[in-house]
Structure 1
Amino acid sequence: MNGAFVSGAFLHRADLHGSVSDPTLDTMNFLNEITLRYPQAISFAPGRPYDGFFDTGQIFEHIQRYLNHLSDNGNSPESVRDAMFQYGPTAGRIRELIADSLRRDENIDVPPDSIVVTVGCQEAMLLAVRALIAGRDDVLLVASPCYVGITGAARLLDVELIAVEEQESGLSTADLEAALESQRALGRRPRAFYVVPDHSNPSGTTMPLATRHQLLDLADRHDILLLEDSPYRLVSGAPRLPTLKSLDRRHRVVHLGSFSKTLFPGARVGYAVADQPVHDAHGRTGLLADELAKIKSMVTVNTSPLSQAAVAGMLLAAEGQVAELNKEASAYYRGTMRSTLHRLEQRFPPGVREATRVRWNSPEGGFFLTVRVPFRADNEALARSAQDFGVIWTPMSYFHPHGGGDHSIRLSTSYLTEHHISEGIDRLGDFIEHEAQRPSGPES
């Protein structure tokens, strides 16, 4: 305890909300700490866009383009000023532009008033979970391994999470259906299923088209909603399958989106497409988006108009076609993924791979892939890897809400250059071979 605190109130963590002691909420802090402690290490941990595509001067150009757009569309100077300086509508100022972009890029045709502009996709997740989980018997299901953001949101909201473990080939709808039936047999009410269908974080898997149709049919039969989170589609460099939302004909999908990977990470602008009809006790009908906006008004009030303006300017520059705007970035990310897979093949030829029991999946795009290793890939192993071998990765156990992934690691390929990938995989190979020879290292 810091000696400066000699009197006054002292708090015990045990008296605070349980989430502050939950290891899930500490995982990213530990990863950041390791990265700061070993700045010379090559890190395959950050799932962030490559810095080379950003120029600070562009920010002013994008904002000015949006201001010009407002003026050209008949807004008075006072209205333009308010659009930048005042809070603005809770549901967002740029919903029309987002709706147009979704229609052009994703064949998602929804009215602007079904969209809520959020502070990143993380807020969109929190709003959706808070709105849908109404009672103590309501549960949220997730494909596991899953993004830690949904796990953290559920923990903060005291929502019970039911993990449906993916097979190596991806999600099995039969497994999901069994989980739904099991929960109902326990007297619980499954409300929604969270999934990242395209180049998922963390595993890198992509859901086949047939599975997407099966999932929509299952959601309809079991009366649940699907929370679709797909931030890597437009920067994957791989052929795109239809989103669940574009295939949705019965309002079963709440599409959670983000511009962090495609346009401007620092703007922290995301959105939720929630076009589900909501009926009240008086027979009036609105949209789920309206209910999400009510919750948002008590969480962040609104999304920064300045951030919305920058994103809007980029959408206007691309005429709503974000995929076209990201052609160069998509090619880069596809290249880094291919380079990583190629370097793994070189570093672990068949004989070495068999001896070390190392294997990995081969995503066509996205930011992530998964490597199976012959030792327990925990925080202690990560610390040894950073300190002794100069390479950082993410334990897959972070992404399994109910345990699992103890012998797998996630590699992010998006943030690195070809040189760093080559050197980083060499270091990773040395580390894996070293760990495989440790007395307590290999799997029993």
Structure 2
Amino acid sequence: MHGSVSDPLLDTMNFLNEITLRYPDAISFAPGRPYDGFFDIEQIFEHLRRYLDRLVEQGVGPQQLRAQMYQYGPTAGFIRQELADWLRDDEDIDVPAESIVVTVGAQEAMLLVLRALVAGPDDVVLVASPCYVGITGAARVLDIPVTPVEERADGFHCADLEAAIKAEKANGRRPRAFYVVPEHSNPGGTTMDLAARRELLEVAARHDVLVLEDTPYRLVSPGERLPTLKSLDRTRSVVHLGSFSKTLFPGARGGFAIADQVVVDDAGGTGLLADELAKIKSMVTVNTPSLSQAAVAGALLAGKLSELNAESADYYGDAMRSVLEHLDLRLPADRRAALGVSWNAPTGGFFLAMRVPFRADNAALTRSAQDFGVIWTPMQHFYPGDGGHHGIRLSTSYLTPAEIAEGTTRLARFIEAESERHTENT
């Protein structure tokens, strides 16, 4: 069996699911999923009908329509123009439709990009650390080495990335790409400011390293949005990874990659990186399901996603503020200072990060679920290197206000008890 099968990294989600099933009455701050209250089953049919009606308006006949919905479709997707139009109007990303590949979620996009970019054993991918386990898991499956670029207490610093790039080159390795979530990152909730975004693009262009930009939480966060890295990209240094799991619904498994970089083949011919990704996709998922693409396109035809998600963005912002307020009530500043507990305060996204004085591992999580009825995620799962042993990730998106109030009460009790337990054992 391949080594990744027994790697604890790939068992992270299974373990969390197991804990949730084992303690069904526990309140869970673990799942980074959208709030169910926004889903209406009729919306799916409305999205599909809107898109099909548009095709009919454009002169698509019944036979062609039937084939598009029921048969295998083009590997790169048949809604690329709809995506290009939306990206230009809503995200100020102006790229040709042929530079887009429609994928089965952003997870497939990560897999395709990693497979395309890493050509040999001396190639390496850098990731902002802590980071989403999907990118490190995909790299592990593909046997691609990952070098973490540790975030500081105040977030990501471009100087640390440049130092890591130089160190890899000095060791005879070729840094190919750097993965980052610029807004409200998973798991830390951090956001890069505009100056850091511009500096990152300059560093990437100077060192010929692609930036893999993942932006799942932009349109479901309140307040003014900073420009994406891709919208600022003037040197084609950014491969933008997109997902509709948070903005529409995860069940569609809708995602995409913008890969407008020019590549040269062995015969000297040129094409787009997107074409190479499509070749790999043809041997992975063949094509993204037609019904999923139609549902996504139908939603995009209803208006700007930023406007359609305004209500949910406000809800998630309120949920984040509620969790922070309740934590402050349960663990006031003087008490958490005495315990050695702290947390950050993201302005959007789904996650916040907490530091505790005890080891927040799977064993501690089991005690938390069993004895206190509250579930969270150990931060150590999000560190490609050795780190996060005293960290907890809290997801704020999935719970009701009542669950937030009760869940933070239970969490505070657990932290108090576990801190005391830690003190007694040291």
TM-score range, shorter chain: over 0.9
CA deviations over 1:86-119 (Å, ceiling 9, x no partner) = 1110000100111111111110000000000000
Identify which range, 72-81 or 146-155, moves more after superposition: 72-81
CA deviations over 1:140-173 (Å, ceiling 9, x no partner) = 0000000000010000000000001100111111
- What runs of 5+ residues in structure 1 fail to find an aligned partner? 1-15
Identify which range, 279-288 or 27-36, moves more after superposition: 279-288
The separation in 2 between residues aligned to 1:439 and 1:160, in whole angstroms, is 35
The aligned counterpart of 1:203 is 188
One-letter identity of the residue aligned with 2:363: E
**Secondary structure of the corresponding residue to residue 260 of structure 1:** coil
The number of aligned residues is 426
1:284 aligns with 2:239: no
Deviation at 1:238, TM superposition (A): 2.7
1:161 aligns with 2:151: no
**Secondary structure of the corresponding residue to residue 35 of structure 1:** helix
1:238 aligns with 2:197: no
**Secondary structure of the corresponding residue to residue 216 of structure 1:** helix
Q: How does 1:141-160 map to 2 (within 5 A)?
A: 141-160=126-145
Alignment check: 8 A CA contact 2:125 2:177 kept: yes
Q: How does 1:56-75 map to 2 (within 5 A)?
A: 56-75=41-60
1:438 aligns with 2:415: no
Select the residue among 85, 93, 111 that pairs with 1:100. Answer: 85
**Secondary structure of the corresponding residue to residue 411 of structure 1:** strand
The separation in 2 between residues aligned to 1:102 and 1:375, in whole angstroms, is 45
Alignment check: 8 A CA contact 2:34 2:249 kept: no
The aligned counterpart of 2:371 is 388
Select the residue among 309, 323, 326 that pairs with 2:306. Answer: 323
Deviation at 1:439, TM superposition (A): 4.2
Select the residue among 330, 353, 370 that pairs with 1:370. Answer: 353
Select the residue among 65, 68, 77 that pairs with 1:83. Answer: 68
Select the residue among 266, 290, 294 that pairs with 2:279. Answer: 294
One-letter identity of the residue aligned with 2:390: H
Select the residue among 200, 220, 227 that pairs with 1:215. Answer: 200
CA deviations over 1:191-216 (Å, ceiling 9, x no partner) = 00000000000000001111101100
The separation in 1 between residues aligned to 2:354 and 2:223, in whole angstroms, is 21
**Secondary structure of the corresponding residue to residue 381 of structure 1:** helix
Alignment check: 8 A CA contact 1:374 1:441 kept: no
1:19 aligns with 2:4: yes
Q: TM-score, normalised by structure 1?
A: 0.95
The aligned counterpart of 1:7 is none
CA deviations over 1:277-300 (Å, ceiling 9, x no partner) = 112244422100000000000000
Identify which range, 16-25 or 343-352, moves more after superposition: 343-352
The separation in 2 between residues aligned to 1:354 and 1:114, in whole angstroms, is 51
| Runs of at least 4 residues off by over 6 Å | none
The aligned counterpart of 2:105 is 120
Select the residue among 378, 385, 388 that pairs with 1:405. Answer: 388
Select the residue among 57, 79, 95 that pairs with 1:110. Answer: 95
- What runs of 5+ residues in structure 2 fail to find an aligned partner? none
Alignment check: 8 A CA contact 2:358 2:422 kept: no
1:418 aligns with 2:370: no
The separation in 2 between residues aligned to 1:215 and 1:152, in whole angstroms, is 24
The separation in 2 between residues aligned to 1:317 and 1:99, in whole angstroms, is 15
Alignment check: 8 A CA contact 2:317 2:347 kept: yes
One-letter identity of the residue aligned with 2:41: T
Alignment check: 8 A CA contact 1:435 1:441 kept: no
CA deviations over 1:224-281 (Å, ceiling 9, x no partner) = 1000001000001132111000000000000000000001210001000000011224
Select the residue among 22, 32, 38 that pairs with 2:17. Answer: 32
Identify which range, 121-130 or 345-354, moves more after superposition: 345-354
The separation in 2 between residues aligned to 1:219 and 1:59, in whole angstroms, is 40
The aligned counterpart of 1:336 is 319
- Aligned-residue CA RMSD in angstroms? 1.0
The separation in 2 between residues aligned to 1:323 and 1:425, in whole angstroms, is 30
The aligned counterpart of 1:8 is none
The aligned counterpart of 2:165 is 180
**Secondary structure of the corresponding residue to residue 438 of structure 1:** helix
Relative to structure 1, is the Cα distance of residues 439 and 220 closer, same or farther in structure 2, using a 3 angstrom cutoff? closer
The separation in 1 between residues aligned to 2:6 and 2:423, in whole angstroms, is 29
The separation in 2 between residues aligned to 1:339 and 1:260, in whole angstroms, is 23
Select the residue among 427, 430, 439 that pairs with 2:410. Answer: 427
The separation in 2 between residues aligned to 1:283 and 1:17, in whole angstroms, is 35
The separation in 1 between residues aligned to 2:424 and 2:298, in whole angstroms, is 52
Deviation at 1:441, TM superposition (A): 7.1
The separation in 2 between residues aligned to 1:339 and 1:142, in whole angstroms, is 31
Relative to structure 1, is the Cα distance of residues 75 and 90 closer, same or farther in structure 2, using a 3 angstrom cutoff? same
Alignment check: 8 A CA contact 2:236 2:261 kept: yes
One-letter identity of the residue aligned with 2:255: G
The aligned counterpart of 1:6 is none
Deviation at 1:59, TM superposition (A): 1.1
Relative to structure 1, is the Cα distance of residues 103 and 72 closer, same or farther in structure 2, using a 3 angstrom cutoff? same
One-letter identity of the residue aligned with 1:344: L
The separation in 1 between residues aligned to 2:267 and 2:353, in whole angstroms, is 51
The aligned counterpart of 1:356 is 339
Q: TM-score, normalised by structure 2?
A: 0.99
**Secondary structure of the corresponding residue to residue 370 of structure 1:** strand
**Secondary structure of the corresponding residue to residue 228 of structure 1:** strand
CA deviations over 1:356-406 (Å, ceiling 9, x no partner) = 111100000000000111100000000000000000000000000111000
